[in-house]
Structure 1
Amino acid sequence: MEDAGEDNVEFIPRNYQVALFEKCMRENTIIFLPTGAGKTFIAIMVLKRMGKDLLGENHKLSIILVNTVALVDQHTKYIKQHTPFEVAGFSGEMNVDFWNSQIWNEQLQKNQVLVMTCEILAGIVRNKIFDLNRANLLIFDECHHGVNDHSMRQIMTNFQNLAMKPRVIGLTATLLNGNCKPDRVMNEVETLEITFQSKVATLEESGDVDGYATNPKEILETFRTHTLSGVELECIKHLDTMMQNLKYFRIETEVNERIKHTSLTPLEPNDGLKKVINIVKDLKFHLENLEYMVAVFVVYHTIFKLKV
């Protein structure tokens, strides 16, 4: 939850939040802002402005849709703090799958704002317990998940058939749900807009959100490729020669017998040379990629660790 606050605190919206709020009031909108920039606060501004629809006996309902139980609790608490409406949260932990239409109708009648996981709304719409014509506002948190057969997308498949379409607001800090090739980015964004019958809206100037969002300041550092010195080149030459010679080297059994009673580990004929050759290869690699003294330290440590 990105907009925490104390009870009964009235926040003053930032300039970019006012601009995005006005756009949301004109048309269905996907708000694309970094984490911490106040997307939820904008959505609540819209909910409060459209609040007159939530009054009366045959009142409409505003619905906030999230992906996890934890977010149900967080959003429910936040909306209760910052709006005057009757708010209720619903998640699978409440065994709502076993509720009949009478229980649901009681909840729908006494509450004005519903916070629930997407699967729950998709289920009660599919089972004809809830008619989306009764909603005046649908807020999809983390709407970039609405791809393939996600329940967000299932909900929006009913949108075209509605006589009184609710306002739709999507909230997201990323427009892509996973990896995407650069030439496919715009296609993915357009697909998201089609799914939610909305247009993506974000900041005209990224500087407007500096100091509010949690995104880190990025600095690009470039490093040159390590250039081998004359000493390193000479060492690598000797190491190559050493590896060639080790191919013809044989470990005598009597050598191992002599070190059997020392702290050293005897080399087995089958794998001893492989270990030695691998150590030499490691030394060559570190010489080519690290500074000389670092490379020597790494291999020195490896030799004593293996005790060869």
Structure 2
Amino acid sequence: LSGSTRRSCFSSGGGSEVWGAPASGSGSERQAGAEYVIPEDDDDDDVMVVAVYEAERRLQLGDAVWIYPTNYPIREYQLKISEAALFQNTLVCLPTGLGKTFIAAVVMYNFYRWYPAGKIVFMAPTKPLVAQQIEACYKVMGIPQEHMAELTGSTAAKQRQEVWRAKRVFFLTPQVMVNDLSRDTCPARQIKCVVIDEAHKASGNHAYCQVIRQLISQTLRFRVLALSATPGGDTKSVQAVISNLLISHIELRSEESPDIQAHSHQRSVEKVVVPLGEKLSAYQARYIQVLEKFMSRLVQNRVMAHKDLRTLSKYQLILARDQFRKNPAPHIKGSHQGVLEGDFALCISLYHGYELLMQMGLRSLFFYIQGIMDGSRGQMSRAKNELQRTPTFMDLYREMETMFLKPPDGTWILHKRMSQIQRLTEVFTPVKRFHMLPHYSHKLQFVVHRFRQGGFNTLVSTCVGEEGLDIGEVDLIVCFDAQKNPTRLVQRMGRTGRKRQGRIVIILAEGREERTYNQSQSNKRSVYKSITGNRSGFRMYPSSPRMLPDGVNPQLHKMYITCGQFDHGGGSRRSVRGRRSHAEGRPSLIHPQNMSE
């Protein structure tokens, strides 16, 4: 093929160009079978698309095909989910490590083929995830690197506009996408496929939701593929994701699903409940005496029901205060209402301290209370004055002050969660090398790389280590807290059991933390049962676009894809062209003999 090349293209009848791009300078709608010319200076990747089309036509494959790679072992559940996601806006819920990114790469590649004039977007919530996914997608389907771009907020808006014009497949955070849509930098009408990673975040006014709202204000013809290890903490949050992301179909697999059993490794989960111990129980009893003084005023004024203070939560207090504000009792008027507002605020603060005591230990409680007493926690003068007039509290506070500000030799550590620390030493094999996983993107990738390479064998991480990041082979995970929403725990557990059997140890304080964990597991089972049983009445998006012309029904065609080496420096067009003669840098699609039945 030399000079200019001619080929056929189809029109969807709705103005969306499929299987080809409009000729330069032509704004008219094209009929099926019309031809257009590729300018001589076009990239030879356009020639590749022409050759693929011609190969399909010669092989009498019908109107069209959708390509599935055989360069990786074929997993039937991945193939089935990929096919569903091509034709419906799909929420894919797969346990971590079972190939959500693989499915995304297959779907993106087929839209890349089908819409040579279209744009494909992959959004992830953090910069490290974005950087990771661009390489992962390339290694599956080999979309030419010079057609892909990673966009960040540090790139000038004008420069991003040029990137949007020149490239076809984009990896970015939703915040960048929102900004570019707002500035009309992003060509919304050209976007044909949107992949949303960690889709359970799409609630409220999250940037994911803003992106979809801005897109549908300009076009309805784009496919949505949403990915998550967990669809949500409860049915309400799942419905929010469905509504916000225009989902019309759900593909869910759990650890118990038969079709993934052969591809997953056993993970043992051990729940270790740590009793408070004699010393901490004594401090708990003294702190509850302080709580009783202020809670009793709310109970006496009938704005709070009498409850067991050991099981009461800060959240219950906040709900009671909101109800008090909306519907104040007739007998509470004027300044009395302000006094009770102050009591609510004080009790909420004290209950936060109680949660710290029960989950983190006495030392965490002290430093929290110290912030109230020295004024560093903001305007809490009323709380400080009330507490200073409470002898029970002041005795406890002075004792903690002596313990943590002027500690006798090492004695303060006896009042920490020693039983929890002892359990931790039982869990761990001797650790020779460890590293704190920082919450800074420029350091994070380096640390994760070192861990994968064996530079150290233990990571200590905040929640940044939970979601999405390819940490590598992890044999043991130790968790120190629990939340009612099961999403974070599922994300953590997904860090292990990828290459071989894994072990998860969850260390829980006796009492509220243990009950929170149990509630979390119950919520998870309830959500999965609702989706698989189809009894919850989820309201699916009714207008998921077909995206293909009427009469065009792509058939599955399996193909071995040859990918080159990913260029971490971004590569230049010259260097990538130089590799093509060695069948690298792009999939080998132009040779019919590479197509497998």
In the superposition, the TM-score normalised over structure 1's length comes to 0.59
Contact 1:30 1:169 (C-alpha < 8 Å) held by counterparts: yes
Q: Residue 50 of structure 1: SS of its match in structure 2? A: helix
Q: Is 2:246 the partner of 1:197?
A: yes
Equivalent residue for 1:216, pick from 237, 259, 267 = 267
- Equivalences for residues 95-244 of structure 1 within 5 A: 95-96=154-155, 98-100=156-158, 103-176=159-232, 180=233, 185-198=234-247, 199-203=249-253, 206-213=257-264, 216-218=267-269
Residues 128 and 110 (structure 1), Cα distance of their counterparts in 2 relative to 1, 3 Å cut: closer
**Match for 1:34: what amino acid?**
P
Contact 2:151 2:160 (C-alpha < 8 Å) held by counterparts: no
**Match for 1:188: what amino acid?**
S
Q: How far is the alpha carbon of 1:72 from its aligned partner?
A: 1.5
Q: How far is the alpha carbon of 1:172 from its aligned partner?
A: 0.2
Match of 1:62 in 2: 120
**Match for 2:169: what amino acid?**
V
Flag the structure with higher helix content: 1
Q: How far is the alpha carbon of 1:211 from its aligned partner?
A: 4.7
Q: How far is the alpha carbon of 1:214 from its aligned partner?
A: 6.3
Mapped to 1, the partners of 2:114 and 2:171 lie a distance apart of 17
Please list the CA deviations of residues 5-35 of structure 1 after superposition, one character each: whole Å capped at 9, or x if unmatched.
Answer: xxx9921331011111111112000100000
Mapped to 2, the partners of 1:214 and 1:171 lie a distance apart of 21
Please list the CA deviations of residues 244-303 of structure 1 after superposition, one character each: whole Å capped at 9, or x if unmatched.
Answer: xxxxxxxxxxxxxxxxxxxxxxxxxxx9xxxxxxxxxxxxxxxxxxxxxxxxxxxxxxxx
Match of 1:287 in 2: none
Please list the CA deviations of residues 105-144 of structure 1 after superposition, one character each: whole Å capped at 9, or x if unmatched.
Answer: 3212332210001100011001121132211100000011
Mapped to 2, the partners of 1:67 and 1:220 lie a distance apart of 30
Consecutive unaligned residues of structure 1, counting only runs of 5 or more, are 1-7, 222-270, 272-308
Percent of pairs with identical residues: 20
Q: How far is the alpha carbon of 1:215 from its aligned partner?
A: 7.1
Contact 1:20 1:202 (C-alpha < 8 Å) held by counterparts: no
**Match for 2:90: what amino acid?**
T
Match of 1:34 in 2: 95
**Match for 2:130: what amino acid?**
V
Q: How far is the alpha carbon of 1:69 from its aligned partner?
A: 1.1
Match of 1:295 in 2: none
Mapped to 1, the partners of 2:150 and 2:202 lie a distance apart of 21
Aligned-pair Cα RMSD in Å: 2.7
Mapped to 1, the partners of 2:179 and 2:72 lie a distance apart of 35
Q: How far is the alpha carbon of 1:65 from its aligned partner?
A: 0.1
Q: Residue 210 of structure 1: SS of its match in structure 2? A: helix
Residues 105 and 99 (structure 1), Cα distance of their counterparts in 2 relative to 1, 3 Å cut: closer
Mapped to 2, the partners of 1:38 and 1:215 lie a distance apart of 17
Match of 1:45 in 2: 106
Mapped to 1, the partners of 2:271 and 2:259 lie a distance apart of 22
Contact 1:35 1:215 (C-alpha < 8 Å) held by counterparts: no
Q: Residue 77 of structure 1: SS of its match in structure 2? A: helix
Contact 1:140 1:170 (C-alpha < 8 Å) held by counterparts: yes
Mapped to 2, the partners of 1:164 and 1:150 lie a distance apart of 20
Contact 2:94 2:252 (C-alpha < 8 Å) held by counterparts: yes
**Match for 1:193: what amino acid?**
I
Please list the CA deviations of residues 32-72 of structure 1 after superposition, one character each: whole Å capped at 9, or x if unmatched.
Answer: 000011011111111122222452xxx21100001111111
Residues 13 and 158 (structure 1), Cα distance of their counterparts in 2 relative to 1, 3 Å cut: farther
Q: How far is the alpha carbon of 1:220 from its aligned partner?
A: 9.2
Mapped to 1, the partners of 2:201 and 2:265 lie a distance apart of 21
Question: Runs ≥4 in structure 1, deviation > 6 angstroms?
Answer: none
Consecutive unaligned residues of structure 2, counting only runs of 5 or more, are 1-68, 273-398, 400-597
Mapped to 2, the partners of 1:211 and 1:187 lie a distance apart of 32
Mapped to 1, the partners of 2:205 and 2:252 lie a distance apart of 26
Contact 2:157 2:180 (C-alpha < 8 Å) held by counterparts: no
Mapped to 1, the partners of 2:169 and 2:269 lie a distance apart of 39
Contact 1:143 1:170 (C-alpha < 8 Å) held by counterparts: yes
Q: Residue 267 of structure 2: SS of its match in structure 1? A: coil
**Match for 1:76: what amino acid?**
I
Mapped to 1, the partners of 2:174 and 2:241 lie a distance apart of 16
**Match for 1:70: what amino acid?**
P
In the superposition, the TM-score normalised over structure 2's length comes to 0.31
